[in-house]
């Protein structure tokens, strides 16, 4: 991934800001947009009074709240918005165990917004559980649609001998992933631009993905899964991954599915694609009811619930 000199300087400034926050003991657990909106609408939450308010809750803050050095780092990183006499960060910093990750500020309205939230935590747990149980050592892995880089970083830390590729079509996601890897001191992750695996060669013994799975009228990259109810991207990932798994390799797909009249259309489609002795697979619901507010959106009139699911596919050796 080639960056111009201004982007390099901006990314270095953002990295230094992350190091400063980590040294200060900053931590924040990222919540759903609905929960974020409730917290920010409470009395007294109109403006920031702490670092968590600035870099977690995305609240406007007075210049006096941060040091001159911190403000300069934000300006150099191009993540500082001016709103009259108030300022606002264009990024959030969230914690995952001892990792600190930069991602887009709330609300994530931009088409190139970089996602991190409750799904990211569940995704990380799916990968961690697999690596704890799996006796095979991972040598080549890829995180498809890496976003803020959660999947790639979890793998790279657990399997330090592995070469891990983090791929995404969103240039900002690749930049943030590189910053997050550098902040964590992880050197075995490379970032590459690719539409799923189209631009990547070779085979992998671990493929992971946490694709968007909503029907989003704005078709934001981090949220829109395509198709009638957001499942198209998940199916495309399954199809491409099956062609690129090494013998004995594993696909871990964490995604969501719209349940209509008790039917899981994604599971029905996956059954057809995984027929035959080559594949051993497990499909399970991680959470039966997530993002209930989405049911109020156009296109979801017949959807009963949205479930978070995990698919594990092993190719026979």
Same domain, 129 and 96: no
* pLDDT tens-digit series, residues 16-69: 999 999 999 999 999 999 999 999 999 999 999 999 999 999 999 999 999 999
**Burial of 45 per CB tally in 10 Å (0-12, 13-18, 19+):** middle
* pLDDT tens-digit series, residues 92-112: 999 999 999 999 999 998 889
Q: Using CA atoms, how far apart are residues 20 and 13, in angstroms rounded to an integer?
A: 11
- The confidence band for 225, taking pLDDT boundaries of 50, 70 and 90, is low
Rounded mean pLDDT of 140-161?
Answer: 96
Same domain, 222 and 254: yes
Same domain, 129 and 85: no
Same domain, 276 and 202: yes
Same domain, 150 and 90: no
Summarize the chain as % helix, strand, coil (round to 5).
35, 25, 40
Structure tokens at 215: 């029907």
The one-character DSSP state at 138 is P
- Tokens 């596919």 belong to 313
* Helix, coil or strand: residue 95: strand
Global confidence as pTM: 0.94
Q: Domain containing 78: what range?
A: 5-104
Mean pLDDT of the chain: 93
Cβ neighbours, 10 Å, residue 67: 10
- Report the phi/psi class of residue 84: left, alpha or beta, with left for phi > 0 and alpha for psi in -120 to 50: left
Q: Identify the CA nearest to 245 among candidates 274, 269, 225, 221.
A: 274
Length of the chain: 317
Q: What share of the chain in percent tops pLDDT 70?
A: 95
Domain boundary among 71, 104, 137: 104
Q: Identify the CA nearest to 290 among candidates 213, 238, 193, 179.
A: 213
Same domain, 132 and 257: yes
Same domain, 170 and 261: yes
Structure tokens at 102: 């930069």
Q: Is the pLDDT of residue 135 over 60?
A: no
- Residue 230 confidence (pLDDT): 76
Q: Using CA atoms, how far apart are residues 24 and 152, in angstroms rounded to an integer?
A: 26
Q: Identify the CA nearest to 58 among candidates 87, 78, 32, 34.
A: 87
């Amino acid at each position: 991934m080639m960056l111009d000199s201004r982007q390099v300087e901006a990314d270095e400034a953002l990295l230094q800001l992350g190091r400063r926050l980590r040294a200060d003991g900053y931590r924040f657990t990222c919540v759903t947009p609905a929960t974020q909106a409730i917290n920010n609408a409470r009395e007294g939450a109109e403006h920031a009074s702490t670092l968590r308010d600035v870099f977690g809750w995305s609240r406007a803050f007075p210049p006096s709240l941060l040091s001159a050095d911190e403000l300069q780092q934000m300006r150099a990183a191009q993540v500082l918005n001016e709103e009259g006499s108030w300022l606002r960060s264009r990024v959030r910093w969230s914690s995952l165990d001892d990792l600190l990750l930069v991602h887009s500020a709330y609300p994530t309205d931009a088409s190139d917004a970089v996602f991190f939230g409750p799904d990211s935590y569940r995704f990380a747990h799916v990968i961690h559980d697999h690596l704890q149980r799996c006796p095979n050592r991972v040598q080549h892995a890829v995180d498809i649609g890496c976003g803020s880089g959660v999947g790639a970083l979890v793998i790279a830390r657990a399997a330090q001998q592995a070469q891990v590729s983090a791929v995404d079509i969103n240039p900002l996601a690749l930049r943030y992933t590189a910053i997050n890897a550098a902040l964590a001191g992880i050197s075995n992750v490379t970032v590459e631009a690719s539409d799923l695996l189209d631009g990547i060669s070779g085979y992998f013994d671990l493929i992971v993905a946490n694709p968007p799975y909503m029907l989003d009228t704005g078709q934001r990259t981090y949220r829109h899964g395509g198709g009638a109810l957001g499942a198209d991207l998940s199916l495309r990932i399954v199809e491409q991954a099956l062609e690129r798994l090494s013998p004995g390799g594993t696909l871990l797909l964490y995604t969501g599915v719209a349940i209509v009249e008790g039917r899981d259309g994604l599971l029905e489609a996956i059954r057809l694609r995984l027929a035959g002795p080559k594949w051993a697979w497990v499909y399970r619901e991680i959470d039966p009811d997530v993002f209930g507010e989405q049911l109020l959106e156009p296109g979801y009139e017949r959807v009963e619930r949205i479930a978070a699911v995990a698919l594990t596919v092993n190719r026979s050796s």
